[in-house]
Structures are given as structure tokens and as C-alpha cells.
Structure 1
Amino acid sequence: MKTYAVLIAVAGLALAGCTSSDQASATGTWRATEPADAYLELVEDGTLSGTDGCNRLFGDWEKDGSTITFGAIGMTEMYCEGVDDWLSQMHTATITDATMTISNEAGDNIGELKR
């Protein structure tokens, strides 16, 4: 009987770690639907990398409560006809379920990424 109690306690602790609202909940790869090869990868150490479908992006980020704030974003400057560079304008984001909604500095929603 004691073994079951210990297993339940350990499982509860493991699940509590999975539901925390720290930076780990935002880490991973987030993909745009258009262009299909645009993505951001947020790393637990606060760095990010990705592409807008043409240019490589890099920078940093932090999460405070439900808001992600992006630091200075650097990117390559290759010319690619028809590529929307909206990711270069990201300033903050929020996550709802498997969707990251990105806003610019003015607070306007400029796009979404999916897990």
C-alpha cells in the first residue's frame, strides 16, 4: 500500500512540473502556415532562432506570466521576392493552447504560429 502512495506522490510532482507557467512552457518549435517553412524555435535558455521563409532570425526572449517579450531580433538580409517579413516585427506574444499570437511594438496582432 505504501508503494502506491509513493508512486501517486511522484506522479503528482511530475505533473505539477508539466503545468508550470515558466519559460519551459513556451519552448520548442513554432511554425507558420504561410509560408510553410517559416518558424521560430524558442530555447529554454532564452535564445531564439528561426526563419521568415527566406532570412534567418536570431535573438532572445523571456516569459513573464502569459506574455512573451522578444528582445532585439537580428536577421540576415537576403532578397527573396514575395516573402512576408512579419516575423522581423515581433515584439510580444501570447500562447493559447497550441497557438502563439505575435504582436508588433504597437500591440497589433501581426501573425500566428502553431506548435
Structure 2
Amino acid sequence: MKTYAVLIAVAGLALAGCSSSAPGIWRATEPADAYLEIADDGTLSGTDGCNRLFGGWEKDGSTITFGAIGMTEMYCEGVNDWLSQMHTATVTDATMTIFNEAGSNIGELKR
């Protein structure tokens, strides 16, 4: 019975850690084709719906800090390029809230 209780506790901790982890693909609802792919190795790639994004990230608790973000510079009429302004983010469950350098909430991504 003790082994069973330990297994349940370990599984619970593993699931709790997954709920606030960053690696994976995070998608915006607007524009629909905007996304970030956050890799375990500290790199990221994605698109704002027009231009490709690439760079790095670090996580401390539930806060992500993005390193220098590079991107292509194609002209796309009507595309909201809010992802190019990302500076930090918080992760809770399946939502990543993105903040600009001034600390303003500029959008959300969903797992």
C-alpha cells in the first residue's frame, strides 16, 4: 500500500510540473497562424503570421524571459506583429501570457 501511495504522489508531482512547463508549441488565436515553438534547449522559433521569429528563452518559476529575438522583415499588410514585442511571459496551465518590455500584457498563447 505504501508503494501505491508513493507512486500516486510522484505522478501528481510530475503532472503539476507539466502544467506550468514552457517547452512545446504555443498558438495564438489571433492571428490564427501565429505560434511559438519553445524547445527544451533554450531556443525558440515561430511566426507572427507573416515573419519568422527565432531566439532564446529562460524560465524562472512561472516567468519566462525571452532573449534577443530575431525575425525576418517581410511586409505583410494587416498582420498584427505583437509577438515581435515579447519580452517576458507567465505560464499557467495551458496559457502563456506575453508582456512587452514596459510590462504591458500584449497577448496570450495557448498550448
RMSD: 2.5
TM-score (ref. length: structure 1):
0.82
Q: Any residues of structure 2 matched to 1:24-63 within 5 Å, and which?
A: 26-63=22-59
Alpha-carbon distance change, 43 to 106 in structure 1, aligned in 2, over 3 angstroms: same
Q: Greater relative contact order: 1 or 2 (C-alpha under 8 angstroms, separation 6 or more)?
A: 2
* Structure exhibiting the larger radius of gyration computed from Cα positions: 1
Relative distance call for 1:46 and 1:81 in structure 2 (3 A) is same
SS in 2 for 1:49: strand
Q: 1:80 to 1:68 in 2, by over 3 A?
A: same
Taking structure 1 as reference, are residues 107 and 79 closer, same or farther at Cα in structure 2, changes over 3 Å only?
Answer: same
How has the CA–CA distance of structure 1 residues 80 and 20 changed in structure 2, closer, same or farther, with 3 Å as cutoff? closer
Deviation per CA, 1:54-90, whole angstroms, max 9, x where unpaired?
0000000000112100000000011100001110100
1:55–1:95 CA distance, 2 compared to 1 (3 A): same
Give the SS at the match of 1:18: helix
Q: Quote the offset at 1:7 in angstroms.
A: 6.0
Structure 2, unpaired ranges of 5+: none
Q: Which runs of 5+ in 1 are unaligned?
A: none
Distance 1:5 1:55, change over 3 A: closer
Tell me: CA distance 1:37–1:5, structure 2 relative to 1, closer, same or farther (3 Å): closer
- TM-score normalized by the length of structure 2: 0.84
Q: CA separation in 2, counterparts of 1:83 and 1:64? A: 31
* Over 2 Å off, 4+ runs: 1-21
| Residues in 1 aligned to 2:103 and 2:62: alpha-carbon distance in whole angstroms | 15
**Cα pair 2:19 2:93 within 8 Å, conserved:** no
Closer, same or farther: CA 83–64 of 1 in aligned 2, 3 Å: same
Structure-2 change in CA distance of 1:79 and 1:18 (3 Å): closer
Q: What is the CA-CA distance between 1:97 and the residue it aligns to? A: 1.8
